[in-house]
Amino acid sequence: MKDKNKNTNEKIVRSVNKNVRSSTRKLKPILKSIVGKKVDLAIRDLSFSDKRISQDVKKTISSAVANAENNYQYDIDNLIIKEAYCGKQVVMKRFRARAKGRAAPIMKPYSNVTIILTEKLKQKESHGSKS
């Protein structure tokens, strides 16, 4: 019962980017590095990342921020990244011609990126005084 009440009070916003042209193996380290950060810090870190796929992740975060601002009227400064995960999508199968009439397969995987934001509310510091 307590868990249900806790989830209803917590405000979450989701943004899903389907068909990202990268494997989940390359996405996971980027997503792990931004979980728990404030949104502006995560976008800044992704802007200076040398990974190609970080631009798509940054675009997904920006979409989630826009959803939070327009649909739920949240304050952008209080948003943090609660979860970020990826899943497998389709795999384009191609081949490369090799010597003696052979062919070598090339797998071009796609992924889903899901970003979940939550609004961090400032907790009151009126705990009991130590006397």
63-109 pLDDT per residue, tens: 999 988 888 888 888 889 999 999 999 999 999 999 999 999 999 99
Q: Please state, in angstroms and rounded to a whole number, the distance separating the CA atoms of residues 30 and 85.
A: 10
Mean pLDDT of 55-61: 92
The per-residue pLDDT of the chain, averaged, comes to 85
Summarised one tens digit per residue, pLDDT across range 30-40 is 999 999 999 99
CA distance from start to end of the chain: 35
Residue 124 has pLDDT above 60, yes or no: no
Q: Does residue 7 have a pLDDT over 60?
A: no
Higher pLDDT, 117 or 12: 117
**Please, which residues have CB within 8 angstroms of residue 78's CB and are 6 or more apart in sequence?**
119, 120, 121, 122
Instruction: Please indicate whether residue 3 or residue 41 has the higher confidence score (pLDDT).
Output: 41
**Architecture category of domain 11-119 in CATH:** Alpha-Beta Complex (3.90)
Provide the pLDDT for residue 60: 92
Kindly report the number of other CB atoms within 10 A of residue 54's CB atom.
Answer: 18
**pLDDT value of position 9:** 61
What residues contact 118, with CB distance under 8 A and at least 6 apart?
10, 11, 12, 13, 79, 80, 82
pTM, two decimal places:
0.78
Q: Element (H or E) spanning 116, and its range?
A: strand 103-119
d(CA 80, CA 5): 21
| Tokens representing residue 54 in the block | 């970080």
Please state, in angstroms and rounded to a whole number, the distance separating the CA atoms of residues 18 and 21.
9
Q: What is the pLDDT of residue 128?
A: 54
